[in-house]
Chain A
């Protein structure tokens, strides 16, 4: 079965760092555009970042640019989201998404990030 599984969420203090991981099964991440999308509790969806197939291009939302970095380890077939200088407003469920807005889209169940002192 094709799926993605996120991990790495947890409680972090404001200003702290966290690295989220996205491990796929049934496909290779480098064959798809991969994205991160987040959703604060009770709120709407917010696109966070994307990486293209060959890893040569990344885009990040204004709200996280300069603080978050999407990356990939082809040997481990894993996508990452490095999150630095975390703020209270970054608290959310973070989804890893294959082929976001495409016909082969697959969402994970998300990993929860809580930012609090």
Chain B
């Protein structure tokens, strides 16, 4: 199983807000930054959020990230059909001396 824990699925209708959680421990999220990725079917992952809450150039501001203690979350406000994808959280784990990912959350737009 994955070091970071995410719900396997989430869903919403267009325009709704969806929140994806990511739970870790003091060796990863509790002591380092959190990153979020979006992976559309058949494509390479794309960085959505880095350093907990920063968006790379070109990422819509509908996507936002936050972190508190050993947990983090990704918010997608105003859900759109093109947001249907797998979302992964990631963090550096000091005990494992490597980056770790969550198992991914599949977001479905109803």
* Residues of A in contact with B (beta carbons under 8 Å apart): 37, 44-47, 50, 59-62, 95, 100-103, 105, 107-110
Tell me whether chain A's interface is mostly helix, strand or loop, or mixed. loop
Query: Number of B residues contacting the other chain (C-beta, 8 Å)?
Result: 24
Complexed CA–CA distance, A93 and B100 (Å): 17
Complexed CA–CA distance, A17 and B104 (Å): 30
Among B53-93, those with CB < 8 Å from A are 54, 56-57, 88, 90
| B15 within 8 Å of A (CB atoms) | no
On chain A, the residues within 8 Å of B90 by CB distance are 45, 47, 101
On chain B, the residues within 8 Å of A108 by CB distance are 44
Complexed CA–CA distance, A107 and B37 (Å): 12
Complexed CA–CA distance, A109 and B37 (Å): 15
Knowing A62-B96, A101-B50, the reply to whether A45 touches B44 (Cβ < 8 A) is no
On chain A, the residues within 8 Å of B56 by CB distance are 103, 105
Complexed CA–CA distance, A110 and B99 (Å): 19
On chain A, the residues within 8 Å of B33 by CB distance are 101
8 nearest A-B pairs in the assembled complex, by CB-CB distance: A47-B99, A107-B44, A101-B35, A61-B98, A44-B104, A45-B101, A105-B47, A44-B103
